[in-house]
Structure 1
Amino acid sequence: MPIINSQVKPFNATAYHNGKFVEVSDADLKGKWSVVFFYPADFTFVCPTELGDLADNYAEFQKLGVEIYGVSTDTHFTHKAWHDTSDTIGKIQYPLIGDPTHVISRNFDVLIEEAGLADRGTFVINPQGQIKIVELNDGGVGRDASELLRKVKAAQYVAAHPGEVCPAKWKEGEATLAPSLDLVGKI
């Protein structure tokens, strides 16, 4: 079954968030836009650069009504230890979900079974709990929060403007397209 437009599958997990352990479930993803951001492991190399980049752009996501959830197969205890020992991770204000049972990673089809780690998967989820954007990167290729922010804005625009689509490199405020017979072969 294609993952685009599918509903997020049920899960329950514990996250480290703002100095506390909190419960997070698929129900928390409903009613607002969400980004679920998988990464292989805490205390590694590319991962902190990505999580730090998201932390630096978190206020911009929040202005759009978007919550970010970082997920790895580490435990919430490991997330706390990493938060407490790394200046980069210490600035994170979004929840870091522990997935030691691999349920969430399997639900999103990003689990590397033989390694017990998650691929670099990014999922943008609408308020109805539907997956609208999927991005998967090789383990050695980091993601860019500003590009993710652009994609979220495009997804929100399309959701709010039925009949319009955002072309390549679209940025907020730029022209969109209204697909029609008149445009066929003219773009």
Structure 2
Amino acid sequence: MVRVGQRVPNFELEVYYPTTKTFGKVSLEDFMRERRWLVLFFYPADFTFVCPTELADLAEHYDELTKMGVEVISVSTDTKYTHLAWQTTEKLLEKVRYPMGADPAGKVSRLFGVYDEDTGLALRGTFIINPEGVLVGSEVNYYNVGRNAEELVRKMKANVYLMSHPDEACPAKWEEGKKTLKPSPELVGKVYTALQE
């Protein structure tokens, strides 16, 4: 299982492309060659209840994410054919334009530690991989708690900013344009003061 801070080994996924209603294959290497960020958005299953609300929420923020150089792939253990059927029948998914990954054998879900051996489903996991192939963000929820794509956007803005400002750190609730921190001996015990300046 890959952990935050580690390089992610290459993997492949079959995908369904909602915009063209076609199928294809992607690999992590594809995105690394293009120097793009990748967000893997695991969810339990198609034709369920919380899942379409999450994917619809993510679709509302997809343009903002792609403008930052991010590709998003939603992933479940369903097949690409099930993705096609679900996306074309569930009204909540009509705005989904990101690729929908099929992981029926659970290989990629196991790699990221979200595969539930008892159910054959993936937990709700969000993973951020930087353009160098390093896992820099990980969030896992149980089946019954949906995620908020606005928080994913905030985390992505912070990660993109920090990639070009590696000597800085983003405090809690950091938003684009707000004050960052520069860890140093002088900052120890004086974070409050630094944030007020």
Distance in 2 (alpha carbons) for counterparts of 1:178 and 1:102: 41
Helix, strand or coil for the counterpart of 1:168? coil
Q: Which of 95, 98, 108 is equivalent to 2:99?
A: 95
1:6 aligns with 2:23: no
Distance in 2 (alpha carbons) for counterparts of 1:6 and 1:58: 26
Aligned residues: 187
1:132 aligns with 2:154: no
Trace 1:6-155 onto structure 2 (pairs within 5 A): 6-17=6-17, 18=19, 19-30=21-32, 31-155=35-159
Q: Which of 150, 162, 169 is equivalent to 2:166?
A: 162
Helix, strand or coil for the counterpart of 1:80? helix
Helix, strand or coil for the counterpart of 1:182? helix
Distance in 1 (alpha carbons) for counterparts of 2:2 and 2:74: 23
In the TM superposition, residue 2 of structure 1 has moved relative to its aligned partner by 6.4
Q: Structure 1 residues 78, 171: closer, same or farther in 2, change over 3 A?
A: same
Instruction: List gaps (5 residues or longer) in structure 1.
Output: none
Task: Verify the 8 A CA contact 2:167 2:183 in the aligned structure 1.
Answer: yes
Normalization by structure 1: what TM-score?
0.96
Helix, strand or coil for the counterpart of 1:92? coil
Equivalence for 1:175? 179
Structure 1 segments of 4+ aligned residues over 4 angstroms from their partners? none
Normalization by structure 2: what TM-score?
0.92
In the TM superposition, residue 105 of structure 1 has moved relative to its aligned partner by 0.3
Question: Could you tell me the percent identity over the aligned residues?
Answer: 51
In the TM superposition, residue 10 of structure 1 has moved relative to its aligned partner by 2.5
Query: Alignment RMSD, CA only?
Result: 1.2
Task: Verify the 8 A CA contact 1:53 1:145 in the aligned structure 2.
Answer: yes
What does the per-residue CA deviation read over 1:59-91, in whole Å, with 9 as the maximum and x for residues that have no partner?
100111110000000000000000110121121
